[in-house]
Amino acid sequence: MHVRVLSMSINKDYQQLRTTGESPVVPWSGNALQYRDLREELAPEIERVLSSGKYVLNEDVAAFEEEFAAYCGVQHAVAVRSGSDAIAVLLRALGMRSEDEVVLPANSCSSEPNAILLGGGKPIPVDILASTYNLDPDQIEGAIGPRTRLIHAVHAYGQPCDMESINRIAKHHGLPVLEDIALAPGARINGERVGRFGDFAIASFGQGKILNSAGNGGGILLTNDGSVAERARSFANYGGGVNPDPEHVRTTYLPPGRQRVWLQPGLNSSLDAIQAAILRVKLRHLDRFVKARAERARSYDSQLAGLDVITPVISDGVTSAYRGYIIRVKDRDRVLAHLQGSGVEAATMYLPPVHLQPAMTRFGYSESDFPVTEQVARELIVLPIYPELTEDQINYVTQTLEEALSGDII
């Protein structure tokens, strides 16, 4: 068994945790520390928005759309209240009809099939690769049918999926691809940032994301198709838009210069101005955040080498954003309990797999339908990783994990 020496501060924190149940030694996120580091930039922006009295659809929202689109290398962006809403407004803009199908990975957040179901569509799960946990291109062909309208490619846990193969399959079938970068903003494929490799892309800025807002708010749709962006923007803002028929809505009701009318049923899903202002500040640091996460991942890689764990496998030509540091272990529940009981806020994700969730019962899926996804779901643990994570904390996580794996548990 390897022996590691921990700093006195970590030992002190660990003892405090064991005796008082206070703050964890290794929190799940570094949000509070990130705010401390960016306070001088964030505080004036928050004050500016609050003092303006303009909290919805102000210039910060438009500026963030422009800046994030430029960052990802696309022409149009529509900011909304969540990543789920970004999917919903896209499906509406594409004219999704009842029972139209969307192919997506079985290893995914329930928010993705939820948005499809709310839009009247049908999610079609596909199994994943055991190496990267991303959509398995070889499984896509069998999932495509006459009602398929879209392939939803999710960059799992921050690592880009095989967009070249997915796009080739999609092109063969005349299907568009939605690139989901919710867990991977700032990740790269052959040196280029994700968000530009599909026909459309969505991102999410909830508090657990790499680029996060102050709360559970924030999502965005990216596209080079101006007409899709226009329809999506209308649906995200109550279905409003420019009056297409002045004779239908008598011009006497509209004062000079007023052209906006209600065109269709829609959502109340505009991004709040204060969230946009926060995201604009953090976007300037995103490349630094991603680089710092990769550095901490390398520390985990080094310290976990030789242990009975499966660590991340990063594909050639891609740079992961490391939404989490993903490991797989035998006897996952026992190992996870020891980590959490020792003050390490490790976690699981996407349990049970989406095809086994109660909301999917009507589609008749059962256990063993997607064996790789199911095996991963039984073994996966997400270790904390973020720019503010210290080397001492990584040492503590790996020593605690080693204790659990060896059975050397007090």
**Which CATH number is 382's domain given?**
3.90.1150.10
Residue identified by tokens 């062909």 is 141
- Taking only the tens place, the pLDDT of each residue in 32-65 is 999 999 999 999 999 999 999 999 888 999 999 9
Backbone angles phi and psi of 82, in degrees to 5: -165, 165
Query: DSSP character for 342?
Result: T
Record the pTM: 0.92
Residues 15 and 44 reside in one and the same domain: no
Domain count, the chain: 2
| pLDDT at residue 248, rounded to an integer | 65
Distance CA 197, CA 177 (A): 9
Residue type, 278: I
Residue 349 CA to its chain's centroid (Å): 12
Residue 140 pLDDT exceeds 90: yes
Residue 326's domain comprises 8-22+286-406
398, amino acid identity: T
Please check whether residues 279 and 297 belong to one and the same domain.
no
Is 326 within 8 Å of 133 (Cβ atoms)? yes
Q: Determine the Cα–Cα distance for residues 297 and 288; give it in Å rounded to an integer.
A: 14
Q: Are strands 240-242 and 260-262 parallel, antiparallel or unpaired?
A: antiparallel
Element (H, E) at 149: strand 148-154
Looking at the structure, tell me whether residues 150 and 296 fall in a common domain.
no
107 and 73 belong to one structural domain: yes
Percent of the chain predicted with pLDDT > 90: 82
Q: Residues in the chain, how many?
A: 410
* Mean pLDDT to the nearest integer, 269-285: 97
pLDDT digit string (tens) for 80-131? 999 999 999 999 999 998 889 999 999 999 999 999 998 888 999 999 999 9
Quote the CA–CA distance of 75 and 86 in Å, as a whole number.
16
Closest by CA position to 217, among listed 225, 229, 209: 209
Residues 218 and 90 in one domain: yes
Mean pLDDT of 201-229: 95
Looking up tokens 């990769």, which residue turns up? Answer: 294
Tell me, yes or no, whether 27 lies in a domain.
no
Tell which wins on pLDDT, 214 or 15: 214
Is the Cβ–Cβ distance between 197 and 163 less than 8 Å? yes
